[in-house]
Structure 1
Amino acid sequence: MTLHRLLLALTLAAAVATTSSAQTLDECLALARQNAPAIKVADSDVSRAENAIREARAALAPTLRLGASYVQNNEAPKAVFPIPGSPSNTVVRTGSASLLDVRTDAQLTLYSGGRDGALVRAAESARSREARGREQVDADLVFRVSQAFYRVLASQRLEEAAQEALTTAEAHRRTSAARVRAGAAPRLDSLQAHVDLAQRTTAMVRAMEAIRLARVDLETAIGVPLDPAKPLVEPGIPALDTPADSVALEQGLDARPELKAYDEALRENAQRARAARAAKSPLVNLTATAEYLGPNRNDAYWELEEPGLKTYKLYAGVGVTMPILDGGLSGARVGALEAQGRGLLAQRKEADLTVRRDVSRALSNLRVALTVWRSDSSRVAAAREASRTAEAGYKGGTSTATDVRDAEAGSRDGRRGEERKLTMADGKRAGIPVAARVIVLLLVLSIASFLVWRRMTRTEGYAGGDIVTTGTIEAVHVQLAYKVGGRLASVPVAEGDNVQPGQLVGRIEAQDLDVQVQAARAALEASKAALAQARAGREKAARDLERQRELLRSDATTPQQMDAAKTADDVAAAQVRVGEAQVRQAESALAQAELQRSYAELRAPGSGQVSELIHRPGELVTMGTPVLTLAQLDTVKVRAAVDETRIGAVRPGDAVRVRVYTFDRKEFPGQVTDVQPAGDFATRKDWGAERRDIRTFTVVARVPNRERLLKDGMTADVTIVVSPEVQGMARNRQ
């Protein structure tokens, strides 16, 4: 009692807090765009692409370089000229011992075969591609935040429903307690009301925890915690019209950023291929230089007019370079870019098909969601009215506690009674003849007599033959997770893809694991080198010991030197053992690092179909966090309900025949594998003493599905073939 009252108080406090302020989906999206790491990474990629454009355009602009040098020689440079007929030579000074050289070089590319322009256009396409990628990241962020936002709203509605059910259960408990004290109802009603109240309290706690977890998911998607005092604003009534398939498909193909990113990547590839082909074309450059050289041979630092003594030089020229033989390097680059272009084109086509599939699925989900939304309001109103009617009838003594606990059954019974009363009233108003009334009365008495005879002579239990019931097809769902944590690098499968055993379905970034493997290999090599060094030392110590023994026999050494050699040999042997242990330890560390590195790749444990992608590339996952769900359809489970009057005839190993509505003439054979030990819901309820509840047990069978015709969630007609021994026992009992 204290717990559910505390829950009521918490709910009222939350309702008061919601009146202060609220938070819309647009505000959550604005916060996510400000704080999401993926957006910041995309912005940095766009900025890097813009700098690449400036770098490519710089190749088209003229360049100007300034250089300077200073040299001090031990003497001035001189030239010696021999004079014929003279015993001495003539020495002429050609420069100064000090030399200052300052030069300015200007260069402009006149012709590059279109390479520089192609590189600029390729950089511009790369920038557009990164911008499209940024739009895709924003679209993914909007999708994740919106999903989490609506999950919070759905959890809040579930909490409201749980609160309403808790209030109803508390009112019914008080009513049943009052009726039990007045003697108008059995004590079982009050006990069951207490049980119902405890169940509603538990459901309320679960609903509140579901809200908390949903808000945690939303804050994780946004990147920052939200103000708990600000509730989320529910969206308005959705538009009830759906776009045409062709219009939606055209809009999807025009608006999806990944398709435009592929288009920009194809243009970038084409421009880079053109630049690679231009590498075979001649390159024409215009160069001009202004140079200062001082001092001259007269040690003058500035001379502009005297020929031969000027301290400046001006010259210009045109240079042409053209590759004649490059060993096939340019051709290989062109071939690689063309192959990359073909791969991009194939990926573009695959993305186009993926977009078409996503649009079709989205339209189908939209139609279903709108249909469900239209029926929700009337269905909820009807359920509430049935509950209120049952409670009012229970208070007035016209309904039982069963009607309150099971609103649907009570409503159905009430309608039947009302129909019987209306039929009698209509007959009186229509003036039915007395003879007809007598015939109807005799017919009713006959039917009642038959039912009494059936009640007195019936036997509940298995009477023989096969058991026919209804079940549900269930695939075996396996959630795959990594044994190590990290950032998802790629997920090469999509929802709906069929995978084979051992197929790669995911990969995480493994740079740190590669570093660990390399470090382990280096440690192993170091330990092996240390072991080799220790073994060499051991061999030397053994030789020294043997030499000391020979010298000791001839009294050429002392016992102390012999003992020292023996100790050195023992130490060297111990070092060898230590080195061998270190090598084994390093080998184990390398094996462990390589094993951890192998965990970076996630492979399918068996064949199946990808039913759900839980995480996308770029997201951080921890060890053991499921990243995708694999539905194994080669063998499916069938869960069938069998009531307790016939469950005793079912044994594990019994054959079953399964039919589904899609293939109504095809039977799928299988075998019973398990019979649920505890009963589930009751197929017939009666809280009085006239009859007892007939409960239902779940029978599980496995059915081979090699052609994968049976789908998860299908409704199936199940025939359980009872063994001849059990059928014989049933006949003997009868």
Structure 2
Amino acid sequence: MKKAMWVGVAIAIAVAGTWGYGALARREDDTGRAVRLLAIAEEQSLALSFSRSGRLVSPVPDEGEPVRAGQVIARIEEPGLAEDASDFERQMAQTRARESSRREDVSRLQAELAQIASEEKRMARLVREGIAPAADLESVQHRRDGTAAAIRAREAEKGQIRAEEDALQARLGKVKHFEKEGALVAHTGGVVLTRHHRMGEWVAAGDPIVTLQLEAPRLRVEVPEERLSAFSLGKSVEIWPQARPDARARARIVSIRPRSEFATRRNWGLQSRDLRTFSVRLAPEGLPVVSGQTFVVETGAH
């Protein structure tokens, strides 16, 4: 009797262990069921800097001042660049004028050559009829050869003029690019969070001039690997402030990446694999967000 009782206890323990192990494995598997996690609003900042060194020659926006996309934040000195650009543009205008004059000369010479060819035919007929001496025909032929040579010479200048214009265009492009590097433009709107330099100061290439706080903070939620299938790039999820469950809105998933290069947990299921945690960032839509605010993120089953 006791032996049967102990056998029953052993069987019960084995069944309970098997059930518990299965529950653990199922919990560590990605079943695609609905997920509800906490997210925090992160401050989105952007440091703006020049790609070359120079002295600031324009005022820099103060901290707290709004900045719109495309606005010039600051400029650095550009000694001689404007004069160089004007000089290259003047030389290019002269080159284009030479090309225009060359084309006019070629057109004039071609018309003149056509007249000479007509006169040559007439003179050849007169020579055959004995009305005009052969010397007159030779004179017309010399004029024809000279005009044809002049046309070839003017046509040969075309390549040289084009090469000069291309060289000037390349130099002007470099100057314009250098001028563009001297203007710091905000490619996105925001508010000046920190002003690092003032007008008149020397700044090195890469040194931040201002740091902008972007218009809308992003939400960051840490997602276990076994729940990752509920999150995909571009997908819209439901969010609400943790303190205000009634203020619900939507947020779009804009990035998904591992939080670290190593596994954070281990699945002890049948495959016994490592599990990682992923940082998912969301862009709220139509809901004011304050940096540091906590939100609830909910996404349905896939």
Fold match, TM over 0.5?
yes
Q: Which of residues 38, 48, 56 is equivalent to 1:480? A: 48
Whole-angstrom CA distance in 2 between matches of 1:499 and 1:660: 31
Q: Report the equivalent of 2:89.
A: 521
Conserved? CA contact 2:37–2:296, under 8 Å = yes
Q: Report the equivalent of 2:297.
A: 719
Q: Report the equivalent of 2:69.
A: 501
Distance 1:464-1:561 versus aligned 2 partners, 3 A rule:
closer
Distance 1:537-1:624 versus aligned 2 partners, 3 A rule:
farther
Q: Report the equivalent of 2:277.
A: 697
Q: Note if 1:669 corresponds to 2:250.
A: yes
Residues 384-427 of structure 1 deviation map (CA, whole Å, 9 limit, x = unaligned): xxxxxxxxxxxxxxxxxxxxxxxxxxxxxxxxxxxxxxxxxxxx
Q: Which of residues 227, 237, 248 is equivalent to 1:647? A: 227
Measure how far apart 1:525 and its partner are: 2.1
Q: TM-score w.r.t. structure 2 length?
A: 0.66
Whole-angstrom CA distance in 1 between matches of 2:220 and 2:155: 69
Q: Which of residues 707, 710, 715 is equivalent to 2:289? A: 710
Larger Rg: 1
Measure how far apart 1:657 and its partner are: 1.5
Q: Report the equivalent of 2:188.
A: 606
Q: Report the equivalent of 1:226.
A: none
Whole-angstrom CA distance in 2 between matches of 1:520 and 1:489: 25
Secondary structure of the equivalent of 1:489? coil
Conserved? CA contact 1:473–1:715, under 8 Å = yes
Distance 1:530-1:628 versus aligned 2 partners, 3 A rule:
same
The worse-fitting range, judged by mean Cα deviation, of 529-538 and 581-590 is 581-590
Q: Which of residues 14, 29, 38 is equivalent to 1:470? A: 38
- How many matched pairs? 261
Distance 1:583-1:719 versus aligned 2 partners, 3 A rule:
closer
Kindly report which structure 2 residues correspond to 1:346-425, keeping only aligned pairs within 5 A, or say none.
Answer: none
Q: Report the equivalent of 1:573.
A: 155
Q: Report the equivalent of 2:20.
A: 457
Residues 155-212 of structure 1 deviation map (CA, whole Å, 9 limit, x = unaligned): xxxxxxxxxxxxxxxxxxxxxxxxxxxxxxxxxxxxxxxxxxxxxxxxxxxxxxxxxx
Distance 1:697-1:718 versus aligned 2 partners, 3 A rule:
farther
Whole-angstrom CA distance in 2 between matches of 1:500 and 1:702: 23
Whole-angstrom CA distance in 2 between matches of 1:504 and 1:541: 53
Kindly report which structure 2 residues correspond to 1:427-446, keeping only aligned pairs within 5 A, or say none.
Answer: none
Secondary structure of the equivalent of 2:57? strand
Please, which runs of 5 or more residues in structure 2 have no aligned partner? 1-15, 124-133, 267-271
Name the amino acid aligned to 1:642: V
Distance 1:593-1:465 versus aligned 2 partners, 3 A rule:
same
Whole-angstrom CA distance in 2 between matches of 1:481 and 1:488: 12
Residues 345-390 of structure 1 deviation map (CA, whole Å, 9 limit, x = unaligned): xxxxxxxxxxxxxxxxxxxxxxxxxxxxxxxxxxxxxxxxxxxxxx
Measure how far apart 1:456 and its partner are: 6.8
Conserved? CA contact 1:656–1:672, under 8 Å = no
Conserved? CA contact 1:658–1:670, under 8 Å = no
Name the amino acid aligned to 1:697: T
Higher helix share: 1
Whole-angstrom CA distance in 1 between matches of 2:274 and 2:161: 75
Secondary structure of the equivalent of 1:719? strand
Measure how far apart 1:486 and its partner are: 3.0
Distance 1:549-1:622 versus aligned 2 partners, 3 A rule:
farther
Name the amino acid aligned to 1:640: V
Whole-angstrom CA distance in 2 between matches of 1:629 and 1:577: 50
Secondary structure of the equivalent of 1:490? coil
Distance 1:648-1:562 versus aligned 2 partners, 3 A rule:
closer
Residues 242-292 of structure 1 deviation map (CA, whole Å, 9 limit, x = unaligned): xxxxxxxxxxxxxxxxxxxxxxxxxxxxxxxxxxxxxxxxxxxxxxxxxxx
Q: Which of residues 512, 537, 546 is equivalent to 2:80? A: 512
Kindly report which structure 2 residues correspond to 1:540-689, keeping only aligned pairs within 5 A, or say none.
Answer: 541-542=109-110, 545-546=113-114, 548-550=116-118, 552-553=120-121, 554=123, 556=136, 557=139, 559-576=141-158, 578-579=160-161, 582-583=164-165, 586=168, 589-590=171-172, 593-621=175-203, 626-634=208-216, 636-644=217-225, 646-648=226-228, 650-652=230-232, 653=235, 655-659=237-241, 666-677=247-258
Measure how far apart 1:476 and its partner are: 3.8
Name the amino acid aligned to 1:525: A
Whole-angstrom CA distance in 2 between matches of 1:693 and 1:577: 69
Q: Which of residues 488, 492, 507 is equivalent to 2:60? A: 492
Whole-angstrom CA distance in 2 between matches of 1:533 and 1:547: 21
Distance 1:618-1:455 versus aligned 2 partners, 3 A rule:
farther
Whole-angstrom CA distance in 2 between matches of 1:455 and 1:679: 33
Measure how far apart 1:506 and its partner are: 1.4
Whole-angstrom CA distance in 1 between matches of 2:154 and 2:116: 16
Please, which runs of 5 or more residues in structure 1 have no aligned partner? 1-452, 686-691, 726-734
Whole-angstrom CA distance in 1 between matches of 2:113 and 2:204: 58
Higher strand share: 2
Higher RCO (CA < 8 A, seq sep 6+): 2
Q: Report the equivalent of 2:4.
A: none
% identical aligned pairs: 18
Measure how far apart 1:505 and its partner are: 1.3
RMSD: 3.9
Q: TM-score w.r.t. structure 1 length?
A: 0.31
